[in-house]
Amino acid sequence: MARARARGQSRAKGPKRSARAPKYVYGFANGKAEGSSALRDLLGGKGCEIAEMTNLGIPVPPGFTITTQAWASYRTGGKKQPPGLWAQVLDGLARLEAAVGLKLGDPERPLLVSVRSGARASSRSPRARRWRTGSRRWRDGWRRVNSRRRATKTCTR
């Protein structure tokens, strides 16, 4: 390093870190997770434990965790998504689709996603909220893949 400076050379400066959005989405798939139990406050209890199980090689379906920091930014930012969150979620979804070979909303090979709330900072009443899981095309595709009618009905509640 000292020699480079002595010759008048300088290291190239990378982009400023403060300009980038914080990391809000941590993925896990194929035995590798971006998080660990050291990130419990950031990933919440369920998120860090899933990351640990993945890193230990325990079979865990692929997915991603949205951080508690994202929720805190939403609450303090006037109930608006923090900048960069949606792009990270879409990237996480694309990695999830690639890992399982299915696509969200695809009527032929639909991807079923489970949404869980497990963070310390979470919405007050997650059970009071209903998640719309898809259209009739999606349900028809799911029925073709999974012949159990009750499973299809359960997935769309």
CATH of the domain at 31: 3.30.1490.20
Angstrom distance (rounded) from CA 141 to CA 71: 33
What's the token pair of residue 99? 């890992």
- 12: in domain: no
- The overall average pLDDT reported for the chain is 77
- 5: in domain: no
- My answer on whether 72 and 107 are in the same domain is no
**Residue 27: pLDDT over 90:** yes
Better pLDDT: 124 or 104: 104
Provide the CB-side half-sphere exposure for 138 (13 A, CA): 17
- 40: in domain: yes
Q: pLDDT band for 127, please (50, 70, 90 cuts).
A: very low
**Residue 61: pLDDT over 50:** yes
Name the residue range of residue 74's domain. Answer: 21-101
pTM above 0.75, yes or no: no
Q: What is the pLDDT of residues 64-94, one digit of tens each?
A: 999 999 989 999 999 999 999 999 999 999 9
- 15: in domain: no
Please state, as a whole number, how many other Cβ atoms lie within 10 Å of the Cβ of residue 136. Answer: 9
CA dihedral 129, 135, 141, 147 (to 10 degrees): 50
**Residue 8: pLDDT over 80:** no
- My answer on whether 28 and 67 are in the same domain is yes
Provide the domain count of the chain: 2
Residue 33: strand pairing partners? 28
Torsional sign, CA 92, 95, 100, 106:
positive
- 151: in domain: yes
**Residue 32: pLDDT over 60:** yes
- My answer on whether 35 and 45 are in the same domain is yes
- Give the pLDDT of residue 130: 44
Angle, CA of 114, 49 and 54, to the nearest 5°: 80
- 7: in domain: no
- My answer on whether 97 and 111 are in the same domain is no
